[in-house]
Amino acid sequence: MNIPFDTTRRIEELERRFAEQEAIIAGLRGRNDQGKAPRWSYLARTTRVYGGDYPTDAGTNTFNIVFVDRQFTPAEGVQTVTDLDRSANPQAIGTTVNGQWVIEDELVIALPAPPPPGSTGKGRWHLIPIKTYYWGICDENLEFGDVADVSVYRRVGGIWTNSTFKQPVRDRLLTSGSTIVEAGTWVKFSWETDAWIVDAAACGPPKEE
C-alpha cells in the first residue's frame, strides 16, 4: 500500500522532533550524572618523609601527605567528627597551590593534579592549606625591611610546643625608624602572596586556640 506524500512528511517531522527530544533528554541525563559524581577533594595531613626529614627551607611547597578518613558520630545538634589517618607512612606528594610552606601534621584539602600534556606520569596533588596563620618566637632580631627566622609553635595536648621547624618571616608592622622586634618575642604571622609576614608581635597565642 502506497503512503500518501503528506503522511510521509508528517512521519519524518515527528521523527525529527523525537530526535531533538532525545538529545535534550540525553543532555539532562548527563547533567544529572555530573551532579551525582563525587567531588574529587579529600582531607589529608602533611607528614614527614618516611625515614627522613620534613621540608623546612623557605619557598619549599611540596610535601608528603597521608589521607584522612572522616567518621561522623550521630548526636543531638552538631555531629561529632573524628579525623583518622589511614596510614602512618606518606601516601602521596602534594604541592600547595599558592606556594606557601605548611607545617607538619597540618590539615589540608587535596585535589588531584593531572600530569602535564604528553606525560605518562600520574601527576601530583594540589594542596589547599586550611590554616591561614601561625604563632612562633623570633630566633633573632627582626629589623625594618628585613627577614628573621622564627621557631614555629603548635598546640599539642593543650600546650604550645616548639615544632622544631623554622620559617623566615618579613615585617609588616615596622616602619622606617621603628624599633626592632627583638629575639625571643612572640609573633603571629600569615602567608601573603609570596612570603610570610608578621601580623602581630609581643602577644602570645591565646590559650583557647
**Span 31-55, mean pLDDT?**
69
pLDDT of residue 81: 73
Residue appearing with cell numbers 615596622: 174
Residue 131 has pLDDT above 90, yes or no: no
What backbone torsions phi and psi does residue 72 show, to the nearest 5 degrees? -105, 130
Q: Which residue has the higher pLDDT, 130 or 18?
A: 130
In order, the DSSP letters of 105-173 are: T-EEEEEE-PPPTT--S---EEEEES--EEEEEESS-B-TT-EEEEEEEEEETTEEEEEEEEEEEE-SS
Question: Residue 88 carries which DSSP code?
Answer: S
What is the grid cell recorded at 15?
Answer: 521523527
Residue 139 has pLDDT above 90, yes or no: yes
pTM of the predicted model, to two decimals?
0.65
pLDDT of residue 121: 67
Q: Which residue has the higher pLDDT, 66 or 99?
A: 66
* 51-68 per-position pLDDT tens digit: 677 776 555 678 889 998
Of the candidates 161, 118, 142, the one whose C-alpha atom is nearest the C-alpha of residue 199 is 142
Residue 172: pLDDT band with limits 50, 70, 90: confident
Of the candidates 115, 124, 112, the one whose C-alpha atom is nearest the C-alpha of residue 42 is 112
Percentage of residues of the chain with pLDDT beyond 70: 75
Contact at 8 Å (CB) between 171 and 119? no
